[in-house]
Amino acid sequence: MTEFVRSQDGLRLAYDDQGTGVPLLCLPGLTRNMEDFEPVLERFGGQARIIRMDFRGRGASDFAPDPMSYAIPQEAADVLTLLDHLGLEKVAILGTSRGGLVAMVLAAMAKDRLLGVLLNDVGPVIAPEGLDAIMEYLGKPPVFTSLAEAAAAMPAAYAPAFRNVPAQTWAKFVRRLWREEGGRLHLRYDPRLREAVAPSFDTSNPVPDGWPLFDAFDGLPIGLIRGAGSNILSEETAAEMQARRPDMLYAEIADRGHVPFLDEPEAVALIETFLGRVS
């Protein structure tokens, strides 16, 4: 059941808290929501406490009056608000894309709250082609009129990075992306998110060095899942992450781009191992 906590600036932030065991906080991607982690809850709810969160302006959380608060430091602060609300001193984090970047900031600002971090297709360097691809759709109305139409279009739209994806997986995917109402699809996030991230996505601007944030994981158990066809996390960046942390759990998922669905056998096995390390 979806519950809510108030952010320090008064927004209702949605979360779901199910399962028993080591607390695993699941943080979604830029435009995504807690439903992306349904496979994790279904598979691991019996051995871990799966806490899923919608960042401000996404999913069931309130939209912010000022879209510039859609910023990673603010989202990290919102995570700490949730942990305090739940009375949790420490959690492990499974962070998909943007959620992984939030986890890096948390490692720098509140490392004592972390048991470990598992990154899903993200690292300290974001490939420019991935940023360009995101700006192609970010904040724009869906082009499809129904979820069924959208699901049927997904294999071609996501080829060649995604292959051999079952039709039922695409059906779940589009349901998590959009809602159908009044004969059309609607975004499940604040379209003003585009205003907030556009400056940082401008590849003509200097790119901040993300490696110190990754290095802040020192001493924590970490893992990395990478889609083999990812346009966000390059092979070179993944290799450097492994070189810096030879103990890092790693799985590369064939026939997946940005991001793996987390129901793939390799992803499930890696999550299982990661939970063993943080328990």
pLDDT tens-digit map of 86-145: 999 999 999 999 999 999 999 999 999 999 999 999 999 999 999 999 999 999 999 999
| Predicted pLDDT at 183 | 87
pLDDT band at 185 (very low <50, low <70, confident <90, very high): very high
Mean pLDDT across the chain? 96
Q: Which strand ranges, in their side-by-side order, compose the sheet holding 91-96?
A: 3-6, 12-18, 48-53, 22-27, 91-96, 114-120, 222-227, 249-253
| Cβ atoms of 12 and 63 closer than 8 Å | no
- List pLDDT tens digits, range 59-91: 999 999 999 999 999 999 999 999 999 999 999
How many helices and strands (H and E) does the chain possess? Answer: 10, 10
Q: How far apart are CA 64 and CA 75, in angstroms?
A: 12
Q: How far is CA 23 from CA 18, 39, 82, in A?
A: 10, 16, 13
Single-letter amino acid, residue 38: E
Q: How far apart are CA 42 and CA 152, in angstroms?
A: 25
- Beta strands, E only, the chain: 3-6, 12-18, 22-27, 48-53, 91-96, 114-120, 178-181, 184-187, 222-227, 249-253
206 has pLDDT over 80: no
Could you tell me which residues are beta bridge partners of residue 118?
94, 223
| Cβ atoms of 120 and 142 closer than 8 Å | no
Picking from 267, 265, 17, the residue whose alpha carbon sits closest to that of residue 118 is 267
Per 3-state DSSP, the chain is made up of helix, strand and coil in percentages (nearest 5) of 40, 20, 40
Q: How far is CA 163 from CA 12, 57, 166, 211, in A?
A: 38, 31, 9, 32
The helix/strand/coil state of 171 is helix
| Predicted pLDDT at 68 | 96
Domains of the chain: 3-128+208-278 (3.40.50.1820)
2 has pLDDT over 80: yes
Per-position b or e across 187-209, b if 16+ CB within 10 A of its CB: bbbbbebbebbeeebeeeeeeee
User: What is the chain's length?
Assistant: 279
